[in-house]
Structure 1
Amino acid sequence: MNSNLTDCRRSARSSILPATRDAQPRGNSGDSDSLSTSEGAHSEEFRSKSNYRPSFDEDKSISEISDNLPTSRDQPTHVFLRTSTVHPQPNVPEEADAVTKKAPISWRELPRKDQLFVITLARLSEPLTQTSLGSYLFYQLQSFDPSLPNSTIAYQAGIVQAAFPAAQFLTAILWGRVADHEHGGRKRVIYLGLLGTMLSIIGFGFSHSFATAIAFRCMGGMLNGNIGVMRTMISEIIKEKKYQSRAFLILPITFNIGVIVGPVLGGLLANPVASYPSLFGPGSMLGGKGGILWMQRWPYALPNLMSAVFLLWSGLGVILFLEETSELRSHKTDLGLRIGQWMCGHIFRRKFAAEAGYSAVPTDEWTAATSLELQPTRTTTYTTGDAQLENLRKAPRQKLPFRRIWTRNLIITLFAHGLLAMHVGGFNSLWFIYLSTPRYNPRKPNPPGFKPHGFVHFTGGLALPPPRIGAALAVLGVIGITLQLFIYPQLSHRLGTAKSYRIFLGLFPLSYALAPFLSRVTSWAQPPDGVSGPWVWMAIMVVLFIQVLARTFALPCTTILINNVSPHPSVLGTVHGIGQSVSSLTRTFGPILFSWVFGKGLDMGIVGLAWWLMSAVAIVGCAVAQGVTEGDGHELLLENEIRRDDGTVQLVNA
């Protein structure tokens, strides 16, 4: 065991010097004695220019070596020091088992929690605002033209839901390119998306026609490319794969929190004059003699205004506290970040380091010896002189051409991702339409003269009012968070990303096939009143549990797969932009197609027609997913890159 640790220390010493553009290829750095003559010359040149002369003793520990490295808080150069990724095999079988069966990473072990919190806040604002619409959208569209039949309202609701991702499809790749550009950046794209969404939902809340509502939904989608950029930032903040299953789970958990709060907020605040006449209506405490006029004129503006306030705070949080992760902009001054740090210093009466970073401290000797790494903070750098640093910053960075992005694995992964987004987005749209649709009333059948018969010939929704729709939608989030916190980490760690993805995709068809049969569950209330009673809510819970269980595993896994299928790190933002564009396209067609089929099914007396079509799409997605494999994020090499024997990629002379 001691000999293995000594080999690791030697390996660490051989990789202490940074790989600059003038460095020679090292080959395998498994032993310090294997350094070539040219590399030794280069090392001497580096020491002479930088006045950096660390002394390495044979028995000096790794921590002592890393402590000797000079740092500067004014130089934002990212430096990584790693040993070979080929770990020495333990001599004792029990030690090997301990390494193999290491417990999954806990939430407390995640690095850079401050940055993850800001991204979480920004992500939370979007599902909160988008899902709040579901509680009242059917009734808002009905208020535009009360003479329209239910089938037409259902189709319009699908179009409204699809307008946002349709506009995203047109601009998602563009936002991804802006995020990768030196004059753009990840942070700028995110806060522009939040502010654009804020303006769009304010306009939507004050809409008086179907066309105006569509226009504002499209506006919000065009200005928002945040999902792909947030995924890119998380992958750049959390670089090690062992943390990724936890880190990428943050976005789905945040989505489920929004799914809980958003529908409840929308259901409680929609049409406040009718819901709370004693507070806002004529002669009320707050409304006065005539009631609050703007609430009467725009009955669905209040929940959108509340969402806009949350979006505004999220945007300010991003501007003031989120750090840029793009290497092309990491050296540029961030005025918003400086203001945020100044505010924190005055509020908490202490000074925060302007470029502080965090790194996990190894808890045992084996980890310390086999995974030496200075985390990518902005404090760790070599003192090489201002002129040399400026040259390194201005050095042209190679980027994989757009035409070379399209590897076979990327195409298959995007195809499976698109099908998943299509039926999941279709479910999110169709579910609240189904909950809002009036029940089948035998005294006034719709279609006229229809009588349920056979296994599939039945119709009608659940006729739930907005507050109960909000509760039914919130159940999605409650189940999702529970599964993501207690079930996903353990099973995902045991099964792996790709296997978990393939297995749990098979649950989607089952949940979609069962959903329409909720109309046939015994209810305490008689139509046309909305359904009620324990049997109905137990059936709703069963359907939602199956769907959310599948979604809990599928959505984080597809995000990790897209992140790792990127053929080169230089196009990571672009790949996530393409992924968002693909999902936006299919999330556009999904709600429109399924809501149109749902309306046709109502006219035919087959309410399950759209649900069973959705189940068929999910089955096709399961079949495509069998060809998906997990990549390493660096499948293709540029001219000045080589892949070493240990699998890592090293920069060589251009």
Structure 2
Amino acid sequence: MPRMSADQMPSTGLLKGHDSDQDVAEPSMYAPPSAARLEVLPVEEEERLLQAQSMTQVSEKSKPVSWASLPRKDQLLILTLARLSEPLTQTSLQSYMFYQLRSFSPSAPDSTISYQAGMLQAAFTGAQFCTALIWGRMADWEQMGRKRVILVGLLGTGIGALGFGFSNSFAVALLWRALGGALNGNIGVMRTMISEIIRDKKYQSRAFLLLPMTFNVGVIVGPILGGLLADPAGSYPSLFGSVAWLKQWPYALPNIVSAGFLFLSAMVLLLGLEESHEALKDKPDLGLRIGRWLTRTIFRSDISQDYQALSSDEMDPSTMEMQSPTDEPPTPKLSKVRRKLPFSRIWTANVLFTFTAHFLLAGHVGTFNSLWFVFLSTPRYVPHEQTNNGTNPNSSLGVPPDYRPHPLFSWTGGLALPPAKIGTALAILGVVGISLQLLLYPKISFRLGTVTSFRLSLCFFPLAYFLVPFLSLVPTTSTSPAAASGPLLWVSIVIVLCIQVTARTFALPATAILINNACPHPSVLGSVHGLGQSASSAARTIGPLVLSYLYGVGLRKGVVGLSWWCMAGFATIGAMAGLFVKDGEGHEIWLEGEKEEEEDQGKVQRH
């Protein structure tokens, strides 16, 4: 190829540098004497290279992301552990809550107990609703940050669990549940941290799946743990029958274990989690220092290996052979002015639509978790033909003595399952959920996209809720009032739960991603997730209160499906609301000067 001097080179084209002595150009008025001779690639070759590069990038984007490729697995693991401890606590008490409430008021009818269970659920989420936005704002505040807010949430939930376990009346239990909810704003802050740790959108579907997947692990372990540990003096009299405090507080032990998990998670988070707030991530963290010192002491290894590029003056000539001819010096980063979007400008159309769909989704999903264990605990209906003493065998259900069921829609009673079997039925939720999340969700979500999978999943909820009350009509191997049992019953339970959990598996990660991407400006990301948790908490407060009341009304009227079919209608409205949601970019509003900064940074990167 003929040599060209610097002043003869065209203004366009890909330039290729060489380090051979034979390619060094003679000094000219346009180039320094030490400059390397450059070659010009033909236009056709340049176009082929650009096309190949573009095809490579498209190919890389079209490849599904694997779990192994997720960045910052250490930080995601700590957040996962912190998230796991909370559903362990919440689902553990569901397996025995009906019976703990019964111990407070032995003579109360089942309709009252079911309403009290809804109030306990609403106390936690109602308090969350009142404080979630505050915790979101605190997480955005430079004097607090994300990490400290999550620590407060874990410790507060642990204290609330201890208080609930040692409660001796419904009012005291309600107070401790409200305290635990008021101090817990974690889920919104955790989602904020994940979005800041995982910046690349191609990893978000996997990263945001971790929180609901962890929830399903808690749903598996928590109910089983609660069912086994509840009332140990009555369940295992040979082991705990002589322990006085377990007799006085029969439901304290599972709450002590749950609080232990929460306090352990708080310790791990304190020692290992890095602050992700932009203004705080580089500030000293005493907890991290202690954690790294413990790691070095126990494992005799240094986990803090920080690498940085050497300047050109510090490079050793002996290492130059390891450098590629196409390597470029690191791009200097321009310092950015921190700008804050006013709170009044958060409310864009997409934010409102997304919050509305999220409110409706959280309402019926949270209510299902509350009503499901109440339905499993509700006594079975006893036909009058089975009683000969003239008494009303269904007095606890609140139906009149002359009540007679007449399907298709008028019948009453639940399944009368004891705590251990309730734990099993609740654990099925987790087993089905985590199986779908590991095997089905990544592939289908990748093919369909976030919005499409979200909208389709919403269509399954109404069907699941419609079918739930029919479980009390499934033939069983036991006669009422004994607990329902038999293979046909458990197969039916699994089918109904598969429908509900499939919908939940796709809907919950998608709504977390959609809320994150609906954020109009990065400076209010914590506030947006706090608002999202407020909307969720409000829905999970109103839903259980209203529908548990309707459940009690349905029991008294002899229509156990009343609340379930109302919830199916509620879910249908939610599916319609999902049609208006779109996937945003996370930066819909640009403040003054930001466009210019982006353009300046782009120019620096190009040069």
- Residue among 186, 190, 194 paired with 1:234: 194
Contact 1:641 1:650 in 2 (8 A): no
1:354 to partner: Cα distance: 6.6
C-alpha distance in 2, partners of 1:193/1:56? 60
* Equivalent residue runs for 1:101-500 within 5 Å: 102-281=62-241, 291-353=242-304, 397-443=338-384, 444-445=393-394, 446=397, 447=399, 448-500=401-453
C-alpha distance in 1, partners of 2:485/2:472? 11
Contact 1:201 1:217 in 2 (8 A): yes
1:90 to partner: Cα distance: 3.1
C-alpha distance in 2, partners of 1:587/1:493? 29
Structure 1 residues 272 and 118: alpha-carbon distance in aligned structure 2, compared to 1, 3 A threshold:
same
Structure 1 residues 619 and 373: alpha-carbon distance in aligned structure 2, compared to 1, 3 A threshold:
farther
C-alpha distance in 1, partners of 2:564/2:602? 47
1:451 to partner: Cα distance: 1.2
Structure 1 residues 522 and 493: alpha-carbon distance in aligned structure 2, compared to 1, 3 A threshold:
same
Structure 1 residues 483 and 56: alpha-carbon distance in aligned structure 2, compared to 1, 3 A threshold:
farther
Contact 1:643 1:650 in 2 (8 A): no
Contact 1:642 1:650 in 2 (8 A): no
C-alpha distance in 2, partners of 1:56/1:559? 52
C-alpha distance in 2, partners of 1:306/1:481? 23
1:330 to partner: Cα distance: 1.5
Q: After superposition, what is the alpha-carbon deviation per residue over 1:470-528, rounded to whole angstroms, capped at 9, x for unaligned?
A: 00000000000000001000000000000100011000000000000000000101111
Name the structure 1 match of 2:318.
Answer: none
- Residue among 472, 475, 482 paired with 1:519: 472
Please, which runs of 5 or more residues in structure 1 have no aligned partner?
1-5, 11-54, 60-86, 282-290, 358-368, 375-379, 385-391
For the pair shown, the structure with the greater C-alpha radius of gyration is 2
- Residue among 511, 522, 545 paired with 1:569: 522
Q: After superposition, what is the alpha-carbon deviation per residue over 1:363-395, rounded to whole angstroms, capped at 9, x for unaligned?
A: xxxxxx9xx999xxxxx99699xxxxxxx6xx8
1:280 to partner: Cα distance: 0.7
1:611 aligns with 2:582: no
1:641 to partner: Cα distance: 1.1
C-alpha distance in 1, partners of 2:67/2:199? 16
1:99 to partner: Cα distance: 5.0
Q: Matched residue of 1:342: which SS?
A: helix
**How many pairs does the alignment contain?**
538
Q: Matched residue of 1:90: which SS?
A: helix
C-alpha distance in 2, partners of 1:225/1:308? 17
Contact 1:268 1:467 in 2 (8 A): yes
Structure 1 residues 93 and 224: alpha-carbon distance in aligned structure 2, compared to 1, 3 A threshold:
closer
1:642 to partner: Cα distance: 1.1
Q: Tell me which amino acid in the other structure corresponds to 2:199.
A: K
C-alpha distance in 1, partners of 2:50/2:357? 38
Q: Tell me which amino acid in the other structure corresponds to 2:109.
A: P
Name the structure 1 match of 2:51.
Answer: 90
Structure 1 residues 626 and 7: alpha-carbon distance in aligned structure 2, compared to 1, 3 A threshold:
farther
1:592 aligns with 2:545: yes
C-alpha distance in 1, partners of 2:379/2:70? 48
C-alpha distance in 1, partners of 2:362/2:135? 19
C-alpha distance in 1, partners of 2:417/2:581? 40
Q: Matched residue of 2:583: which SS?
A: coil
Name the structure 1 match of 2:483.
Answer: 530
C-alpha distance in 2, partners of 1:176/1:57? 57
Length-normalised TM-score, structure 2: 0.84
Q: After superposition, what is the alpha-carbon deviation per residue over 1:318-376, rounded to whole angstroms, capped at 9, x for unaligned?
A: 1000000001112221000000000001111122217679xxxxxxxxxxx9xx999xx
Q: Matched residue of 2:575: which SS?
A: helix
C-alpha distance in 2, partners of 1:209/1:56? 85
C-alpha distance in 2, partners of 1:382/1:373? 12
RMSD (CA atoms)? 2.8
C-alpha distance in 2, partners of 1:251/1:331? 26
Name the structure 2 match of 1:67.
Answer: none
C-alpha distance in 2, partners of 1:125/1:649? 43
- Residue among 502, 516, 520 paired with 1:549: 502
Q: Tell me which amino acid in the other structure corresponds to 1:484.
A: Q
C-alpha distance in 1, partners of 2:537/2:260? 26
Q: Tell me which amino acid in the other structure corresponds to 1:635.
A: E
Contact 1:432 1:473 in 2 (8 A): yes
Structure 1 residues 160 and 556: alpha-carbon distance in aligned structure 2, compared to 1, 3 A threshold:
same
Q: Matched residue of 2:90: which SS?
A: helix
Q: Tell me which amino acid in the other structure corresponds to 1:418.
A: F
Structure 1 residues 95 and 572: alpha-carbon distance in aligned structure 2, compared to 1, 3 A threshold:
closer
**Structure with the higher fraction of residues in helix conformation:** 2
| Structure 1, 635-644 or 424-433: larger mean CA deviation | 635-644
1:454 to partner: Cα distance: 3.0
C-alpha distance in 1, partners of 2:454/2:477? 39
Q: Tell me which amino acid in the other structure corresponds to 1:309.
A: G
Q: After superposition, what is the alpha-carbon deviation per residue over 1:402-443, rounded to whole angstroms, capped at 9, x for unaligned?
A: 000000000000000000000000000000000000000114
Structure 1 residues 570 and 330: alpha-carbon distance in aligned structure 2, compared to 1, 3 A threshold:
same
Q: After superposition, what is the alpha-carbon deviation per residue over 1:438-474, rounded to whole angstroms, capped at 9, x for unaligned?
A: 0001142341221110310011000000000000000
C-alpha distance in 2, partners of 1:56/1:272? 82
- Residue among 563, 579, 582 paired with 2:532: 579
Contact 1:122 1:194 in 2 (8 A): yes
Aligned-residue identity in percent: 56
C-alpha distance in 2, partners of 1:489/1:409? 25
Structure 1 residues 113 and 179: alpha-carbon distance in aligned structure 2, compared to 1, 3 A threshold:
same
Q: Tell me which amino acid in the other structure corresponds to 1:429.
A: S
Contact 1:500 1:554 in 2 (8 A): yes
* Equivalent residue runs for 1:4-23 within 5 Å: none
Contact 1:118 1:322 in 2 (8 A): yes
C-alpha distance in 1, partners of 2:347/2:194? 23
Name the structure 2 match of 1:70.
Answer: none
| Structure 1, 626-635 or 435-444: larger mean CA deviation | 435-444
Q: Tell me which amino acid in the other structure corresponds to 2:510.
A: C
C-alpha distance in 2, partners of 1:208/1:567? 47
C-alpha distance in 2, partners of 1:141/1:518? 24
1:103 to partner: Cα distance: 2.6
